[in-house]
Every structure is written in structure tokens, then in C-alpha cells.
């Protein structure tokens, strides 16, 4: 199963990104586990220096922005 990681410390932008990711999954009819990673040491392991960020199966797709559901759909595995 696909795993989506939302990387961020819990700010409003991070929560918005999580909501957009869940919306994208619903629109695309894709099943995936959404995981929120708030530990700064874990976030740095992804090479992310600006949050929020979104990774799919450990591969960072967006950094420092709230990706829209449409943008997220474009990078979801088929």
C-alpha cells in the first residue's frame, strides 16, 4: 500500500497539506496510509529544510508549499 508522509511540526500549513492529501486520495480513489511526521530529526532525514513537505513512499515530492489536491493527484502512483 502507498504511504504518504506529511512532514511538518504541526502548523496550520502542515494541517492544510494533510487535508489536501486526503482530499486527493479520495478524488483519485486511491487507498494509501497517511502518516504525519512532526519530529524535526525525522524530517531532516528526508533532506527537508522547509516545511510543510509531502513524501510518497519515502520520496519527497513537495517542499515548503501547500500542494493542492490536483498537484498531489499528479504525483500519486497509478
- As annotated, the active-site residues are 11, 14
Quote helix, strand, coil % in the chain, to nearest 5: 40, 25, 35
Euclidean distance between CA atoms 15 and 21, whole angstroms: 10
Amino acid at each position: 500500500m502507498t504511504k504518504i508522509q506529511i512532514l511538518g511540526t504541526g502548523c496550520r500549513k502542515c494541517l492544510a497539506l494533510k487535508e489536501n492529501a486526503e482530499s486527493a486520495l479520495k478524488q483519485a480513489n486511491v487507498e494509501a496510509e497517511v502518516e504525519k511526521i512532526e519530529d524535526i530529526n525525522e524530517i531532516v532525514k528526508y533532506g527537508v529544510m522547509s516545511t510543510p513537505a509531502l513524501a510518497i513512499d519515502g520520496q519527497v515530492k513537495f517542499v515548503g508549499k501547500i500542494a493542492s489536491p490536483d498537484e498531489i493527484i499528479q504525483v500519486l502512483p497509478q
